[in-house]
Structure 1
């Protein structure tokens, strides 16, 4: 087998449609049809047409950086408006003050943003460079030689060592492990922490050495690149030089090594089939739509209103002057003068505030381990009205324990498990049990325990203390294997060919050859295995799965459905276990038919399943039913109760059956004590769907439980009617939900209700739902980190939601609302003063404040006190958590609304007018006195207004107020252009400023006292 120009060829086939025709590629990265059939002598040239194996995570390059960053900034209304204002200062007729006055703040904002983007992209560049320069060994006719990852091409034979990252998508040919199998770690690909087993090609593993690969003549057929990391179809056709016959082996996902996974055991040689953009890792690196917080949307609306206010004021000022002369020039000059109404500093203040909130969340020791992955959404935590949650691993611990075993005429629980040990010991010859019936029971017990010890995908491993630990993709399987160990049948060895069990009672070993394994899939809902007892040579097919599919496969019985229902009502997850004995002739026939299906490139999975169903899944002997308990997470009951009291409507979306989900909903207190449960199951017609919806119309306080099929029927047949009724209910439980359904429901609730939706989950099947939500929360659990990495917030347990929403969400929203309105007020009041000044001086568009005064106003003189509002809190933490009902007020959006906006607008008009009119009335004989009196009164007014808005004083707030006042007083000496110190140091200046400040701010303090007395906020009654 040669990778450069030798006898091996790579053929990449276009995917087939379901009808069997070829489906054209939709990706520009895919090669054309002629490139998908590569002849031996063409490989060296043709493979260059595949995408290079280069990792590129950078958003920009040296040429596109500035254009793209500037474009992203100036599509924002705030920045575009101030850019136009700044550019207007180059037009002589529009020039009002110093250009730096207008370009300074804009440049500062852009500099901060550009620097941040540049630093982030430089870090991406360094990571990309490190990944692309990693060294690997490529096998060639002259032996192994080193090559950087970026130079790896399709058709190369690459050697990967233990703990090394897989550089490209490869077919697994050989390994140093004697078993022909190795483990890979996939947490960076799918987020799952469990190791995955991968199998080398049997024909290549049997070669005497690695160099023999260079002499193999063969062809690899692989399907075109696609995103599904759990699916791969291909064949390997090679010339068997012993018989000189052409042989074909099927290639499945178990024979692949995907890029970005890590080899966990041994060394491996892989044949590269996909590189660069065609790899599964890159194709799954999607960039979900950027989420925008509701408060950002609201502020953007207010900014547009402010622009209209600015325009109206400008037109009014010119209109009152009679539209004389170049009136349109004067309109533009007034627009520039009033530009501070739309404060460019608002975006900076809000972004800085969000950073503070994120740090406060991450540093909260009571919710340790919480990570804020999207720092633009903390305020959204205070506006949630719908909570959609997964069950397994989210509400429950995903910590499984087998609680019950039912065998038709016999049932065992935790209290009677010692009987199973006795029966098993008897069946293995250690103990004698009198009576034929007892011996029969012992053999039946041995049958089911042995079936459970064999039918799984668990691999045992030993630590330094020789203790057994188990690796498996499913915690259910680990729980069952641990149970068989406790019963006396221990799984001590497993590889691709062999399973070995140890009987604790006798110390003897049972050894079985693995002939076939049929893994569990979400479509089949079952897994099976064919094994051969090496002692008796008997062949058995074992299968376990969900009762929904197994009940139609096993032999007739009259107890399975009833017992499944009983266990589900106890909150147990059920699995049906069955077996079938196969003759050698029956197995050989199955093997032949299954091989034909395996190597087909058209509907391979369907063909394989059809062979299994026709040759194996008929008349299986029902061995028994297991009930596994998944314990509730700590604090789940209190959390759900608190969130329900906070008026959140909670939906539980789970793949479990109706009975199990209902039981968990009741035990977790998701359903309140007196709440009725209304079930919708097995809906199969439009008439039924409408009847069920009509029945729900009158039930306003009940829990709806609906299965996946009925849900889909309702969504297809009567979507609007169903969602209208369902969203009015306090609790909804959707069972047998697929990941796609979870995401669809999320989008449907968002689109229909226009309310904020939070989704929480812990597994890869929750990622779509989490990304579709307004706020996605991932729990780091036993299913890995995939949900956590895809989420906006990552937590370690469900109970952390209480504090995340009721405390941090409350603070983030209230603080940002207060900060936004105050920054807007800061711009409005100075614009009102400008308008009054111009009106009193013949409507002349002359600037009242220029230079350092206008720059310092939004920075040195007010920024620290205003920004200190991000530390304010209206109630303490104890009150917020003790009375979750307070959260309901937040969802109404009253803290930042049109009402509060226009209230601040009126305050600004009053204060700006009062300060300016009184300054003109009280000024003496020089214009500089108007500036010094009015500006000083303005600064003191803003400091007093900040103090008025503070609910709970923090030492930083007090320090910022005092420091800012001292900075302002000290700057008077440094700015003689604006301040006449001989006048500033007189009593006249002091009393005039004091009177003006009192008139502008004192009435608001009086109003606040009156409102507190006669119409206090709800939370003040609890303090």
Structure 2
């Protein structure tokens, strides 16, 4: 057997990342095991049953807040410094850790049943059931219809003719349309013969495992021959066999290293402004906490030196403390424990809950649901919702994103003559409408009845058998990768990888050149009523670098032909010099087509010499079976044989704009969002689309249009020139980049992202947009005609471009507004709650005593105030969705990050500090001289604590009422419910019953009842609440009245509209009620009169 051994005889296994090439021999486990390849057991879970708790806790304590509270918990176990019970910290910490752990466990849960699924495997000339995890590299397995593929296998044979099989790859790339795979002819002859399959001992040498879903390079060595292998012969794990009774395959990759487990379509979310700012602010809060602790510890040291020594005699303090400095040291740690709640432990969990809720609102939005395809909007990440409200740059693909990607053959140019326009009797061109008569294709029994064409002269040319016209459509029928499928009812359906190819093959079909069948060696056409079979000798594949595709065939007369189609700039460079005049004429036609917004391709052919072709085929065979630089070698060979082409003409395909695109772009432009279109089309086509969607207007002066060649050169230049290029582009109202490759799309996004501190969004629908989508801060995928790769790589997805307007201006803006309000209130209430202890320290000898009861400290953040702020963060609306869309300039504050920044943080924390000051000193001043109704003093510590705690709960509840713009039943329930829960728990903890059960934990029986029975206490609470909230109300009123923002104005309009609606409703129902009352009164009067008259007549 001819097998070149490339790695020597060193058979030691290498790490998957170091594996240079893989050797796999069929039906030979002993040979394959020498390489120590992985078995087919997979493990995608991060945790196991035994490692979940330690590993998850370790990961959670990597987060600063969690580690900080763990340290506090340890400090609280030291009796010399802790004045709080351990449960004040452990309860919220355990709650946060538990919620996060449950979320992580849910996300990580993966069913282990997959490893125990059964597959038919060939062993010792016998097919038997085997578990997936027991399959090994080199085994031959049998797959049956509707069965998942157990590993990455090389297709050997199938029940379909020519070794074909159909697979569904939805689990890999999200695409539900069936794909075709085809076995090598030499292996498809093995069929289902178990003895032949058992004797098959071919060896595959291929590339190591990688994450390239659409690429595979390998060579099969068998019976002293070698055969090139590519992705079209591979079935990847996760695919489903469809419409194929059975197939056999040889396992190439197994276990952790199949392609499906190496894919990383989803991008890793990088810089998130809100998270970064929150981390910075938390570090500053921690610094502020340290400063407070130092201040109070210094105060304690001074107090111990000047006043505290008077108490040493009867407190035996000198036996516990060696000096006042040591007392201050212990006090520092005591106050760190007491003031720990200034650092919000539940912030991260609360933010995640809000983000999850906002994502569900996007998923549930019926106005972003596309009923034609049953496609809802989907938030594929929960971490970027606020950034949707801060986008400044949108980078959009054109085809399939702005347009429908439903291709229709519209016009063509053949040998210098255009077809597709309609003229009247006077030779004047007329517009094509729905009433324009279509060409009669009844001469063709296999026509596609959905195809419409209006220029009858092209059909006449076909009937007259004009050679170049026939060659034109023959090229369209031969040069493609379409697969025909004949349905049971006799309908011929084409399975095309791209809508362009489907449109061109359908056009050739209607004009008499029907593509009927394909085998690995032949293509059969039905040409003008006759079956003609062409020998398929080579396919020169399309890619984004070549921008063309060619096929080499031998016609029934024995002539060798090369047919090529591709971008006009590429094809024109390959033309023979004799085509100069025709190329000039065709270029004018192409510019005319592009000016109408049509997608164009150039078509050319070449007659090949037999000897030259034989020599070239030898080079091709060598290059196609090489593992090193296969693509580069093949590209050079393709270009060698494609030189000297003869121009046939050009095609023009119509791709209409999606519904609502111009309106969406206009609205987003008014929101000060810059939209850049990045397309691979010609300049004229891109400009036409720009005019169609209102990006370009005749009155514009600043428009920046750049080609891919210029872009590539500029991107590679020095940094200062790159900056100039970007500055010029950013000064323009509209930027269109044409003729750009997928890599250049990503480079444009990366250029803006690197030099502009702005949130970028990329939107596309195809695989060529994936790199751009992954590069941008936010990626949006359109589920269109080109599969689901863009969707799988995206953060958000939907079916139509027009939904982007609602995603940004409604959901994005609301998410940003809600999150900012949530964070401001969250920090405010924590400062107001915690700093009361700070002020108390100056009046208790800095003795690290707490104002509140320990249970109140434990429950304040997790019970009394957690749900109202979550409700505000989930449901609040400063203006409704109609006003958000009607006034796009309301989006501007998010772009400028005005609602939550360092200044806003300082403002809300300062408000919290002032609130804590008022909360402490008003009750303190009142309690200095306050007495009960019976004349006794009220100034015990617990009554003081109850008064301040009650004031705090009411003040923060009033504050959240002031911060809430949009009240729902949930908001009311949570706010009033939290207040009710507070009083219920307060009275319960001070009741006789709980004292009998836990006397040491709840010793203050009746304190709440006795305190809150006093009228003076309620007056103190009322005064405290008014003093805390009235300045806020006054400042907001003055600000709205004197310096209203756009949001304030829209909010006032929104409220006035609502009030007008209420007034009309009341008026209408009042008038109706009054009318009914008068009507019934009149009826009653008439009835009474009639009764009286009847009585008189009777008597």
Report if the CA contact (8 A) 2:265-2:793 is conserved: no
1:407 aligns with 2:414: yes
Taking the aligned partners of 1:338 and 1:261, their CA distance within structure 2 comes to 57
Taking the aligned partners of 2:2 and 2:54, their CA distance within structure 1 comes to 44
Match of 1:694 in 2: none
Report if the CA contact (8 A) 2:21-2:206 is conserved: no
Structure 2 SS opposite 1:154: coil
The structure-2 alpha-carbon separation of the partners of 1:584 and 1:264, relative to structure 1 and needing over 3 Å to count, comes to farther
Compare CA radii of gyration and give the structure with the larger one.
2
1:257 aligns with 2:278: no
- Which of 153, 157, 177 does residue 136 from structure 2 map onto? 153
1:641 aligns with 2:666: yes
- Which of 944, 967, 983 does residue 958 from structure 2 map onto? 944
The structure-2 alpha-carbon separation of the partners of 1:59 and 1:742, relative to structure 1 and needing over 3 Å to count, comes to farther
5 Å-filtered alignment, 1:456-855, equals 456-502=480-526, 507-534=529-556, 536-555=557-576, 556-558=579-581, 559-582=585-608, 587-614=613-640, 616-676=641-701, 702-718=702-718, 719-855=722-858
Deviation per residue, 1:920-948 (Å, 9 max, x gap): 11123322221121111111111111111
Match of 1:51 in 2: 38
5 Å-filtered alignment, 1:906-985, equals 906-923=910-927, 924-976=938-990, 977=1004, 979-985=1007-1013
Taking the aligned partners of 1:956 and 1:514, their CA distance within structure 2 comes to 68
Match of 1:880 in 2: 884
Structure 2 SS opposite 1:398: coil
- Which of 62, 86, 93 does residue 73 from structure 2 map onto? 86
Structure 1 SS opposite 2:161: coil
Deviation per residue, 1:880-913 (Å, 9 max, x gap): 1011111112211111122222211222222211
Match of 2:346 in 1: 345
Deviation per residue, 1:46-97 (Å, 9 max, x gap): 3561122222211223454233322322222222222222221011122121
Structure 1 SS opposite 2:676: strand
Taking the aligned partners of 1:508 and 1:300, their CA distance within structure 2 comes to 74
Report if the CA contact (8 A) 1:420-1:445 is conserved: no
The structure-2 alpha-carbon separation of the partners of 1:71 and 1:652, relative to structure 1 and needing over 3 Å to count, comes to farther
Deviation per residue, 1:966-986 (Å, 9 max, x gap): 223333321213833133123
The structure-2 alpha-carbon separation of the partners of 1:355 and 1:36, relative to structure 1 and needing over 3 Å to count, comes to closer
Q: Bigger CA drift: 989-998 or 891-900?
A: 989-998
Structure 1 SS opposite 2:490: coil
Report if the CA contact (8 A) 2:946-2:1011 is conserved: no
- Which of 878, 891, 895 does residue 891 from structure 1 map onto? 895
TM-score, normalised via structure 2 length: 0.83
Structure 2 SS opposite 1:226: coil
Deviation at 1:45, TM superposition (A): 6.2
Structure 2 gaps of 5+ residues are: 305-323, 370-375, 424-431, 448-455, 928-937, 991-1003, 1054-1099
Report if the CA contact (8 A) 1:532-1:539 is conserved: yes
1:391 aligns with 2:398: yes
Taking the aligned partners of 2:273 and 2:129, their CA distance within structure 1 comes to 53
Deviation per residue, 1:303-348 (Å, 9 max, x gap): 1221122122222223344555121221121122111111212222
Report if the CA contact (8 A) 2:300-2:331 is conserved: no
The structure-2 alpha-carbon separation of the partners of 1:45 and 1:183, relative to structure 1 and needing over 3 Å to count, comes to closer
Compute the RMSD of aligned alpha carbons: 3.2
Deviation per residue, 1:787-811 (Å, 9 max, x gap): 1122111111111111111011111
- Which of 185, 202, 226 does residue 185 from structure 2 map onto? 202
Taking the aligned partners of 1:982 and 1:419, their CA distance within structure 2 comes to 93
Structure 2 SS opposite 1:499: strand
Deviation per residue, 1:272-297 (Å, 9 max, x gap): 22222332222224674344532122
Deviation per residue, 1:403-454 (Å, 9 max, x gap): 11012431011548999879998xx9xxx99xx9998773332221222122
Deviation at 1:994, TM superposition (A): 1.5
1:220 aligns with 2:204: yes
Taking the aligned partners of 2:24 and 2:185, their CA distance within structure 1 comes to 25
Deviation per residue, 1:96-116 (Å, 9 max, x gap): 212111110011000011112
The structure-2 alpha-carbon separation of the partners of 1:13 and 1:822, relative to structure 1 and needing over 3 Å to count, comes to farther
Q: Bigger CA drift: 335-344 or 264-273?
A: 264-273
The structure-2 alpha-carbon separation of the partners of 1:53 and 1:896, relative to structure 1 and needing over 3 Å to count, comes to same
Structure 1 SS opposite 2:121: strand
The structure-2 alpha-carbon separation of the partners of 1:438 and 1:850, relative to structure 1 and needing over 3 Å to count, comes to closer
1:380 aligns with 2:387: yes
Deviation at 1:827, TM superposition (A): 0.9
Report if the CA contact (8 A) 2:395-2:762 is conserved: yes
5 Å-filtered alignment, 1:64-83, equals 64-83=51-70
Taking the aligned partners of 1:498 and 1:438, their CA distance within structure 2 comes to 24
Deviation at 1:192, TM superposition (A): 4.2
Deviation at 1:32, TM superposition (A): 7.0
Match of 1:105 in 2: 92
5 Å-filtered alignment, 1:106-145, equals 106-122=93-109, 124=110, 126=111, 129-145=112-128
Match of 1:336 in 2: 337
Structure 2 SS opposite 1:631: coil
Report if the CA contact (8 A) 1:149-1:167 is conserved: yes
Deviation at 1:464, TM superposition (A): 4.3
Match of 2:1093 in 1: none
Report if the CA contact (8 A) 1:403-1:413 is conserved: yes
Structure 1 SS opposite 2:945: helix
Q: Bigger CA drift: 812-821 or 605-614?
A: 605-614
Structure 2 SS opposite 1:517: strand
TM-score, normalised via structure 1 length: 0.89
Match of 2:1095 in 1: none
Report if the CA contact (8 A) 1:10-1:37 is conserved: no
Taking the aligned partners of 2:735 and 2:253, their CA distance within structure 1 comes to 44
Structure 1 SS opposite 2:655: strand
Match of 1:277 in 2: 256
Deviation at 1:148, TM superposition (A): 1.6
Report if the CA contact (8 A) 1:516-1:530 is conserved: yes
Report if the CA contact (8 A) 1:455-1:543 is conserved: yes
- Which of 1044, 1068, 1088 does residue 1016 from structure 1 map onto? 1044
Match of 1:163 in 2: 146
The structure-2 alpha-carbon separation of the partners of 1:23 and 1:539, relative to structure 1 and needing over 3 Å to count, comes to farther
Deviation per residue, 1:202-253 (Å, 9 max, x gap): 22223473421333454333233333333333333333xxxxxx33323233
Taking the aligned partners of 1:338 and 1:217, their CA distance within structure 2 comes to 74
Taking the aligned partners of 1:151 and 1:876, their CA distance within structure 2 comes to 58
Deviation per residue, 1:976-1016 (Å, 9 max, x gap): 13833133123222222222222222222222222222122
Match of 1:1004 in 2: 1032
Taking the aligned partners of 2:959 and 2:341, their CA distance within structure 1 comes to 19
Report if the CA contact (8 A) 2:28-2:138 is conserved: no
1:989 aligns with 2:1017: yes
- Which of 216, 221, 229 does residue 213 from structure 2 map onto? 229
Deviation at 1:590, TM superposition (A): 4.2
Report if the CA contact (8 A) 1:540-1:582 is conserved: yes
Deviation per residue, 1:336-367 (Å, 9 max, x gap): 21111112122222222112211211111101
